[in-house]
């Protein structure tokens, strides 16, 4: 049989540019980020903030504009490249990785996809020129659950989580009232994409619009969340809108039809970048455990040479490779949607699969890595306790693994989820 009939599903050879970018970011993290991120005094105090100058250095390397199109001042990185870079950043500091990933992803979605030419002309030059110009998506509200949970084999429940309203003033401006909570990048963002309900009587996706709100908009108050709370990732804050005014031209897309509204399809087949953050946490824990095992002497030899520790580290390495493979395949599939259409790839929701695999395996990786340190693994001034906590957050926050597995089960059963039903 001719070898010509065989085709490669996806190429595991990274390009020269991808390798150079990965190595450059890895070196930057090792030299600049880790020495600060794992300082014992910082870990002891539960301080999750990095000095702004380190975030600036990362921005100057092009990591803030990584996914933005090249002709608009970015690197034009695809989903796989973004996941590779995000893993490297998260191996140094999870909050730095999320700050840059959020801005990079939103830059692509806003400037490349959702903005009108007029909006782009107004905001893009400012964004590209200012290394401290970060972006944020304000969706979650106090006392609501805007996560897309699963009602197994039933239509989705209409989204009642968007209660912040926007009405027209006499001059055509939008007037926003309401609040958003735990917004990623809120303390550093200079432009917010805010989900609002422009028709208070509407329910579900109908009536939900997105408004661009600059940080200095009158009537907007930003309250930074307690960085020591420790049960979320990224620098977060609450937004309070009290008769906050923005021009009518700040509407993104059509009124009542937000271009940034998530749905089950986009989540299932989108970019698994947050799973790459989780992978970075696991890799940092593994590298710390491996380094320690090569230094610690017990019974006259390094503990890495003891069978129990050697097999434990091997098991960790295997889990990391399994997670990375799931993430890379999902990212490659997001870059090549035709591969699903022609059955080159499984039609499973690969981003959802990667979410489940990463959440469960990385949590176990950090626990096993802590075992290598013995009692030192639980000390507050040691990085292992932080890695375990960071992985636990991924296991229990956002769309739960139980919900994710139900989505996969519905796919296996051939259930086509209809649009959310409208409420009364």
Q: How many domains does the chain have?
A: 3
Residue 158 in this model has a pLDDT that exceeds 50 = no
Rama region for 243: left / alpha / beta (φ>0; ψ in -120 to 50; rest):
left
Does one domain contain both 230 and 289? Answer: no
Does one domain contain both 296 and 408? Answer: yes
Taking residues 110-114, what's their average pLDDT?
A: 96
Note whether residue 424 is domain-resident.
Answer: no
Does one domain contain both 287 and 203? Answer: no
List C-alpha distances in Å: 138 to 175, 248, 260.
16, 19, 11
Does one domain contain both 171 and 308? Answer: no
Does one domain contain both 247 and 282? Answer: no
CATH of the domain at 62: 1.10.540.10
CATH of the domain at 172: 2.40.110.10
Does one domain contain both 124 and 142? Answer: no
Note whether residue 274 is domain-resident.
Answer: yes
pLDDT of residue 205: 47
Taking residues 20-24, what's their average pLDDT?
A: 97
Does one domain contain both 82 and 125? Answer: yes
Does one domain contain both 218 and 274? Answer: no
- What range defines the domain where residue 60 resides? 12-132
pLDDT of residue 344: 85
Note whether residue 94 is domain-resident.
Answer: yes
In 3-state terms, what secondary structure has residue 207? coil
Joined together, the tokens standing for residue 337 give 């949607």
Note whether residue 186 is domain-resident.
Answer: yes
Does one domain contain both 144 and 87? Answer: no
Distance separating alpha carbons of residues 160 and 278, to the nearest angstrom? 30
CATH of the domain at 377: 1.20.140.10
The model's confidence at residue 3, banded by pLDDT at 50, 70 and 90, is very low
Taking residues 275-304, what's their average pLDDT?
A: 96
The model's confidence at residue 271, banded by pLDDT at 50, 70 and 90, is confident
**Domain final residue pick, 212, 232, 252:** 252
**Domain final residue pick, 252, 279, 304:** 252
Note whether residue 6 is domain-resident.
Answer: no
**Domain final residue pick, 92, 111, 132:** 132
Does one domain contain both 208 and 68? Answer: no
DSSP letter string, 254-309: BTTB-TT---HHHHHHS--HHHHHHHHHHHHHHHHHHHHHHH-EETTEEGGGSHHH
Note whether residue 36 is domain-resident.
Answer: yes
Does one domain contain both 280 and 398? Answer: yes
Q: Which residue has the higher pLDDT, 405 or 400?
A: 405
pLDDT digits (tens, 9 = 90+) for 363-378: 999 999 999 999 888 8
Note whether residue 272 is domain-resident.
Answer: yes
For the chain, what is the mean pLDDT? 88
Does one domain contain both 116 and 203? Answer: no
Residue 116 in this model has a pLDDT that exceeds 50 = yes
Residue 310 in this model has a pLDDT that exceeds 60 = yes
> Taking the mean position of all CA atoms in its chain, how far away is CA 194?
18
Note whether residue 306 is domain-resident.
Answer: yes
pLDDT of residue 97: 96
Residue 202 in this model has a pLDDT that exceeds 70 = no
pLDDT digits (tens, 9 = 90+) for 26-50: 999 999 999 999 999 888 878 888 7
């Amino acid at each position: 049989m001719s070898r010509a009939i065989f085709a490669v599903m996806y190429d595991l050879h990274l390009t020269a540019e991808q390798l150079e970018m990965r190595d450059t970011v890895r070196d930057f993290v090792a030299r600049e980020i880790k020495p600060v991120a794992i300082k014992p005094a910082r870990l002891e105090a539960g301080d999750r903030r990095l000095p702004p100058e380190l975030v600036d250095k990362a921005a100057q390397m092009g990591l803030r504009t990584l996914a933005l199109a090249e002709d608009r001042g970015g690197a034009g990185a695809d989903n796989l490249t973004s996941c590779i870079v995000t893993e490297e950043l998260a191996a140094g500091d999870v909050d730095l990785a999320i700050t840059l990933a959020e801005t990079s992803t939103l830059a692509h979605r806003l400037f490349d996809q959702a903005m009108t030419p007029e909006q782009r002309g107004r905001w893009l030059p400012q964004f590209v020129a200012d290394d401290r110009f970060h972006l944020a998506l304000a969706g979650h509200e106090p006392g609501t659950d805007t996560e897309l949970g699963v009602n197994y084999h039933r239509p989705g429940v209409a989204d009642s989580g968007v209660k912040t309203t926007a009405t027209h003033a006499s001059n055509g401006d939008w007037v926003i009232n309401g609040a958003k909570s735990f917004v990623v990048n809120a303390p550093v963002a200079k432009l917010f994409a805010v989900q609002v309900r422009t028709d208070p009587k509407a329910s579900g996706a109908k009536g939900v619009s997105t408004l661009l709100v600059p940080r200095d908009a009158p009537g907007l108050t930003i309250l930074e969340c307690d960085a020591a709370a420790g049960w979320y990732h990224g620098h977060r804050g609450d937004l309070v809108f009290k008769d906050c005014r923005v021009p009518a031209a700040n509407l993104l897309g059509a009124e009542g039809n937000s271009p940034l509204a998530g749905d089950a399809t986009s989540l299932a087949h989108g970019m698994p970048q947050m799973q790459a953050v989780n992978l970075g946490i696991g890799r940092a824990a593994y590298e710390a455990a491996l380094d320690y095992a090569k230094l610690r002497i017990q019974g006259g030899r390094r503990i890495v040479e003891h069978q129990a520790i050697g097999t434990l580290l091997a098991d960790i390495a295997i889990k990391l490779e399994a997670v990375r493979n799931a993430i890379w395949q999902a990212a490659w599939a997001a870059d090549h949607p035709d591969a699903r259409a022609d059955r080159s790839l499984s039609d499973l929701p690969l981003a959802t699969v990667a979410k489940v695999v990463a959440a469960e395996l990385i949590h176990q990786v950090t626990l096993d890595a802590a075992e290598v340190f013995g009692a030192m693994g639980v000390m507050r001034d040691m990085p292992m306790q932080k890695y375990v906590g960071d992985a636990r957050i991924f296991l229990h926050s956002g769309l739960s693994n139980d919900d994710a597995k139900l989505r996969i089960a519905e796919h296996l059963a051939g259930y086509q989820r209809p649009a959310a039903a409208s409420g009364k």
